[in-house]
Each structure stands twice: as structure tokens, then as C-alpha cells.
Structure 1
Amino acid sequence: MDYSQLNKAITAGEIASLYLIYGEEDWLIQQLIQSLIKAVIAPGAETLDLVVIDVAHQPQTLDTARIALEVKTLPFISEKKLVMLKNTDLFVSASGAGKAQTDENRKEIRDLITDLPDTTVLVFVETKANLSQKSLLSAFEKRGGIKAEIRIQDDRTLQSWVNVGCKSQRLSIDPEAAISLIDRCEGQMREIRTELEKLFLYLGWSGDKKITLELVDLVCRPDNRGSIFDLTDAISSGDAEKALQVLDLLLLRKEPVPLILFMLHRHIRQLLAAYTEHDSRVLASRMRLRPFVANKLRLQARRFSPHKLASIYELMFQTDLRIKKGLLNDLLGLELLLVEAASL
């Protein structure tokens, strides 16, 4: 089940006793949580009938006795009690010193799910859930649990969402401005919303009614991914001077040199993958990229030969090694890397 399906069911009052909500899009997950609270908990009864326990990715510390008590306690005012367990990591494989305790906690939670009373709605909210724990998942499914993976939304959906948000403020946004805004925030709706609020405040002051790319550049967070594309464009053209100018721009924004190195390394690795993959959709799925970014990568990869990309990748490895050995500082290493890469 995805966000739209689950949200529709909750809005229609179709409430299950057991949920596993997981994925990368935390803003949409939060919207679902609020919808569940509104649907299950009577107004004003949150302190009595709503229990939220955040395990903070430490499954070995899970207080199963307390959870069992909360689950089995009848609601005070609402028709059902809502117990929410966050970041339990029970649905992923455990390792390390706490594995034995985590396995024991998982078994107790599995037994609790099997005997879950009809007076309680139990919700697992996870950022990580590869569903590898078959015994727990089997108990979950036998009890009629609902699984919903909330993924980063595709570009078309995000652009539509941005347009609706702007129209609600009686504003318009240019398509290239919307795409740039989404890209700067890497598709994260919470981050996009924050940047939109900055734009709304600015336009409220200026009196303008349209969001342009120039305004996004002025008001919003820097377009670091776009700068990395510019950097590699300069390298592909053999223009070391242009590459150093883009680097100066990143440094002017106070971006840390290690972060720039990391972004460039990731970008070259993605270009290598893009060179051999002719379908943007497959590339997007394989590299966990949005289709818009995957298509840009494929187009840029054509400007390189596979030999040059491999040589740049090897050059980055050697630069990283020299920096870690203390043979040169990170900024000098990055500058030399750009000059050498452009000369290949």
C-alpha cells in the first residue's frame, strides 16, 4: 500500500488494528500519523488514549513489559487506544552486542501482535524496514496488519504539489523554478515546504506574484547538485579555469571541502553507472534517483568517454588517499584534482 491508498482508507474511517508505516518520506509519514490520531482518538483525549514510544533505533532497549501493558489497557474516552512505536528497527536484521536481547524483544512483540486486543490500534513507524524478519512479518500479516511504504515522490507529483501550494497563496511558479526547488531539496517534501515558506514570506514583502528561478536562487538554499553538474561540465570540456570558478562559488557558500569531495565522488560514480545504462527509469530505480536527475546524468555521461570517467574515478581515489596520509591538505588536493581531471 502507498500513501494515497492508506490516506484514502483512513479518511474513509477504515481503521485496521495494526500498521507498519515505513519509508524515506518523513513528511508524508507525519501526515498519515496525524490522520490516524484524528481518526482514532477522541478530541481532547490525546493524553489519555494516545501513547507514543520512540526507541531511537535501539531495539535492545525496548521495554516490552511497558508496551504490553499499554496495549492491553482499555481506552479511557476514545473507542480505541492508539499505541505508536517509532524507530524500533525490529523489522531489520540485528547485529552486534545487543543482538540476543533484540531477538528476545522481537519474539515478545511477535507474541503481543498475535494476541493484540481489538480495543487497541498498534502502529510501527520505521525509517528502516527491509522486511527481512520473516517470523515477525508472518505474525503481522496473520493479524491483518497493513504495510505502507512511503517513498520519495516522483518529480511530476512533487511539481503538482508545489503548484497547488503556490496557488493556495495566489501565487504562480515557473516550471524551471519548481524543478530547481525540488532538486535542491532532493525531493524531500518537508525541506521543499520550508523553502516554499521562505518564498511566500519574501513575496508577501515584495508584492510580486510569481516565483522565478532567479528568485529561488536569491531566497532558497544553494543548488549544490547543480553546481556539481557545472563542475563536471567544465571537466568534460577540459576547462580547468571554469571548474575552479565553480569551486570558488561552492567555497563562497561555505560548503566544507570534504562535502564537495564527497559530492563529486558520488557524482562521478553515478556518471559511470549512467554511461552503461540507456534507460533513465532503470537508472533512477537502481541508483535511487529521481527521474529528472537520472536523465541529466545520462545526458552528461555522453560528454565523457568511459576511459576518461574511469581515469577521473581513479584520480579521486588517489587524491583521497594522499589527503588521508597527510601528504596534502584537502583544499589543495581538490584543486589539483580538478586541474588534472580537466587535462585528461
Structure 2
Amino acid sequence: MKPEEFNKAVEKGELASLYLLYGDEPYLVERAVKKLMDRAVDPGFRDFNLDIFYGNECKGEEVFSAAQTLPMFADRRVVLVKKGGDLSAHAMEVLLPYLQDPSPGTCLILQAEKVDGRKKFYADFKKRGEAVEFKRPYENQLGPYVRDEVRAAGKKIEPAAAELLAYLVGNNLQELVSQIEKLCIYCGKKETVAVADVKAIVSDTKVESVFEFTDALGSKDLPRALKMLTALLQDGEVPLRMLGAVARHFRQLWQVRELLDRKVPQSELAKASGINPYFLGKVTAQARNYTVTELQRIFERMLELDLAFKSGGLEEPLFERFVMEACRR
């Protein structure tokens, strides 16, 4: 089942007895769980009809027993297993028979980041229940995602404004939704969110500073890049998040650089690259600062930097060395 099919079914009240909600985008998974719970059990009766377990510590017997318990003062009860991908082998063995004959008055939800589909328990769960995977959207999907979220809030947003917000924030959906909420409040009775509104809201956050940092790197402006790096780290910005923004920016530079090398006409660059014309001029100018060989070396260094950060390396000196290499003329 696709996420959009899941949403439509839940809105109609067409609920299954078994749900596996998982994926690498925790915000979307958490929101889907909340939406399902809100529809499945009345908040006023949750004390009687909601049980929450954690897969890394619960016993199969207690989950089985809760799932077989009849609902009180309601048509349905919910049994939620968070970290559902961490169930022990014994717990899965105990719960396997339940999958063959789930209680019609219970909605059993497994919430997970990853599940091992090779294991019989998860394979049977997918076969007999509804499995919905929530993937982190690709960069070219962020603009439409922003527009959908703004529409759900009762407003419209200019295409360039949606692309600008997606570009500034990246694919951290929790941060993206937070910025959208601020935008809608800021716009008040105004029906359409404009580029100026995005700049007014996002400029007050660390996101704008990260954007300036990637811009300095792409421009090979070493003094400004080092100054921004120091300011961001002193302000508590997470190096891995910064690196993600840098990688996103340089992917666009590489993409445009290859198009330029193929002599793609300027008039066709926006369509060929998928980059909004609002940004294309600056990205194209920065892409001319690099050769494909240079960009390949930069990505190799970013991979090394990512591994070093995750293994506890000294973040500021390593990042400074990377900045100096990326800005080398």
C-alpha cells in the first residue's frame, strides 16, 4: 500500500487489523501512526483501549494478550509496537499465530524504521496486513511536498517560494513543516505565500546561515566560507546536517557542470536540470567555478568527512580542511 492510498483509506474509516508502518523518514511514519490512532480509537477512551509496547524490550506474550483483549466502550482498540523492527526471535514466534487470525476488534500497529523482510514474521505481516513504507522525499519532490503542506493549511504558495523554502531547509521534513507553519502564521489573512515571505521567515533561523555557507563554498569565497563555518559551529549547528546541505548544493553544481560540458543551451538548462529558474543563474555561475574532476574529488572528501564525523573525529579542523580544498582556485 502506498502512503497516499493509506491516507485515503484512513480518512474514509476503512481500517485493517494489521499495519506495518515503516521507513527512513521518521516524521512521516510518526504522523501516519498518529493519523491512524486518531481514527481508530476515540481519545476519550484511550485509557481503556490503547496499549503501547517497544519492540526492543517487550515480550511477545504481552503483545498477544493485549491484541486479543476486547475493546471497552468502543468498537476498536489499538495495540502499538514502537521499534517494531527490533522484536526478538521469541516474540516474533509467539506473535506469528496471531497474524493468521487477528482480532477484528483490534488494530495492531508495528512502527519501525527498518524491518528484515526475509524473516517469516515480517513477510507474513506484509502478506496478511497493510504494509506502508514512508521514504524520505528526493530533492525534486520537496517543492511539490511544500505546496501540498501549504495547501493543507488553507493557503497557496508561489512555485519559486516553494522551491526556495525546500532549497533552504532541505529534506529534514520536521524542520520543513515547522517553517511552513511559521510562514502560514506570518502571512495571516494573505492567501498566497510569496518569495519575500519565505526570506522574511527563514532568514531568522540557522537555515539561512547554512544556505549562505554553501553559497560561499560554491563561489569559492574562502574567507566568507571559513567565517560562516566558525559562526555556525559556535552557534551549535550539527556538522552532519551542514554536510548534508553542502552535498545537496554540490550535486546541483555537478549536474549543471555536466550539462554545460555537453553544450546544453542556456534556455534548456532549467528543464534539463530540474532546477527552478529562480536559482539557476547562481547555480550555473558557481558550476563554472569547477571541473567535473574537481567535483568528483570534493565528493570523495565529503564521504571521508562523513565517516570521520560519525567515528568521532575533530569536527572543526576537519571541516576547515575540506573548506580550504573546496575553495581552492
Fold agreement, TM-score > 0.5? yes
Distance 1:150 1:265 in 2: 25
- Answering whether residue 145 of structure 2 is matched by residue 158 of structure 1, we say yes
8 Å CA contact 1:315–1:341 kept in 2: the answer is no
Specify the SS of the correspondent of 2:223. helix
The aligned amino acid for 1:307 is T
The aligned amino acid for 1:22 is Y
- Answering whether residue 57 of structure 2 is matched by residue 104 of structure 1, we say no
The 1:82/1:174 distance shift into structure 2, 3 A limit, reads: same
Question: What per-residue deviation string (whole Å, max 9, x for no partner) do you get for residues 5-56 of structure 1?
Answer: 111112222221111111244444344333333433246221111212234x
Question: What per-residue deviation string (whole Å, max 9, x for no partner) do you get for residues 288-327 of structure 1?
Answer: xxx759x98x96667532332344466778999999xxxx
8 Å CA contact 2:61–2:94 kept in 1: the answer is no
Question: What per-residue deviation string (whole Å, max 9, x for no partner) do you get for residues 276-299 of structure 1?
Answer: 998xxxxxxxxxxxx759x98x96
- Answering whether residue 133 of structure 2 is matched by residue 149 of structure 1, we say yes
2:164 alignment counterpart:
180
Deviation at 1:69, TM superposition (A): 1.2
2:14 alignment counterpart:
14
Name the count of aligned residue pairs.
300
Deviation at 1:165, TM superposition (A): 5.2
Distance 1:306 1:216 in 2: 35
- Answering whether residue 182 of structure 2 is matched by residue 198 of structure 1, we say yes
The aligned amino acid for 1:229 is T
Deviation at 1:113, TM superposition (A): 1.9
TM-score by length of 2: 0.71
The 1:266/1:109 distance shift into structure 2, 3 A limit, reads: farther
Distance 1:255 1:332 in 2: 16
1:245 alignment counterpart:
224
Question: What per-residue deviation string (whole Å, max 9, x for no partner) do you get for residues 116-159 of structure 1?
Answer: 22232211111223x433411332245x2111112234224313
Distance 2:108 2:319 in 1: 51
Distance 2:257 2:62 in 1: 53
1:116 alignment counterpart:
102
Question: What per-residue deviation string (whole Å, max 9, x for no partner) do you get for residues 65-114 of structure 1?
Answer: 211110111111222221111112148xxxxxxxxxx2222222223322
Where in structure 2 are the equivalents of 1:61-76 lying within 5 Å? 61-76=57-72
Distance 1:321 1:75 in 2: 49
Where in structure 2 are the equivalents of 1:48-59 lying within 5 Å? 48-55=48-55, 58=56
2:124 alignment counterpart:
139
Distance 1:318 1:141 in 2: 38
Distance 1:32 1:316 in 2: 34
8 Å CA contact 2:225–2:323 kept in 1: the answer is no
Specify the SS of the correspondent of 1:123. strand
The 1:117/1:273 distance shift into structure 2, 3 A limit, reads: farther
The aligned amino acid for 1:120 is T
Distance 1:275 1:80 in 2: 54
Distance 2:9 2:231 in 1: 49
Specify the SS of the correspondent of 1:216. helix
The 1:243/1:67 distance shift into structure 2, 3 A limit, reads: same
The 1:179/1:85 distance shift into structure 2, 3 A limit, reads: same
8 Å CA contact 2:179–2:202 kept in 1: the answer is no
The 1:250/1:208 distance shift into structure 2, 3 A limit, reads: farther
Distance 1:82 1:16 in 2: 11
Distance 1:78 1:15 in 2: 15
TM-score by length of 1: 0.68
The 1:141/1:313 distance shift into structure 2, 3 A limit, reads: closer
The 1:317/1:208 distance shift into structure 2, 3 A limit, reads: closer
Gaps of at least 5 residues in structure 2 are 260-273
- Percent identity of equivalent pairs: 21
